[in-house]
Amino acid sequence: MAVIDGKKMAEEIKAELKAEVLRLNKKLRLAVIKVGEDKVTEKFLEQKKKFGDAVGIDVRIYDLPADITTNKLREKLAEVVHIKENAGVIVQLPLPTHINTQYILDGIIPEKDPDMLSSKSIGLFSSGRGKILPPVVAAIKYIFDKNKVDVKGKKVVVIGAGRLAGKPVATWLMNQGAALTVIDENTEDPTLHTINADIIVSGVGEPGLIKSDIVKDGVIVIDVGTSESNGKLSGDVDQAVAEKASLFTPVPGGVGPLTVAMLFKNLKVLSMRGRVFGGDYGG
């Protein structure tokens, strides 16, 4: 059983990225649209600010009230996107339930969309024409590449079909030739799929959702589900699963730190404006 140390991997990327940003000879800035208050969101923002400081990228947070309307938020986003100094713009999710989330995300142009969440960016990614990958996909690809995991022909189960993890991960896996099954709330008996899976990726946000009795020995388990319980971050996968897995990513400390690293790597790629350079991990 190999437990992935996402923090260590992220540190490797951090060192490379810091040197690359220095060579750019210009200041990069990531703009973050934050609406309302959320404890988990605050923790993610802390990670992003800390990583940005470490590599020399400014993180500017635009803090907006929770009761802002969809139209007012879209107007504010347009202002932020058009500020030249903002090399990339992200919207911290989730947004309040009264907001039309996709309409807001579609206000970010692909050239400034390191999260790859606008409809145009999703289209580029899905068709293999994007020059960057959604951060969580890039993080998982990095883990697989480092551990020589080839998904082609493998039985892969993705649990959850959310905007940030499930959907982009499923799209990428399908494009890589995996024998893919996506499990959502409409799946009658998920265990029929998980027990035979070679690889499981879970992004539901429900602590202890995946128990050791529903996976086989030697399974690869990628946990991208995050929820808060008693002030602590928890993943979807019960710790007992790690004993059966050949490869396992814990929460916290697994995919999360790498995803943050890939967000900033994406920002740097976008800032190059199409120039050819080393390290592009492509679409």
Instruction: List the binding residues for NADP(+).
Output: 160-162, 226
Residues 104/229/44/36 CA torsion (nearest 10 deg): 40
Q: CA of 281: how far to CAs of 26, 130, 134, 265, in Å?
A: 22, 10, 11, 10
Considering only CA atoms, give the Rg of the chain: 18
The two structure tokens encoding residue 131: 């020059």
Residues 7/142/135/41 CA torsion (nearest 10 deg): -20
The two structure tokens encoding residue 126: 């899905």
Q: CA of 29: how far to CAs of 80, 143, 232, 240, 279, in Å?
A: 11, 27, 30, 41, 20
Question: Which residues are documented as binding site?
Answer: 160-162, 226
Q: CA of 242: how far to CAs of 9, 154, 208, 237, 248, in Å?
A: 19, 20, 12, 9, 6
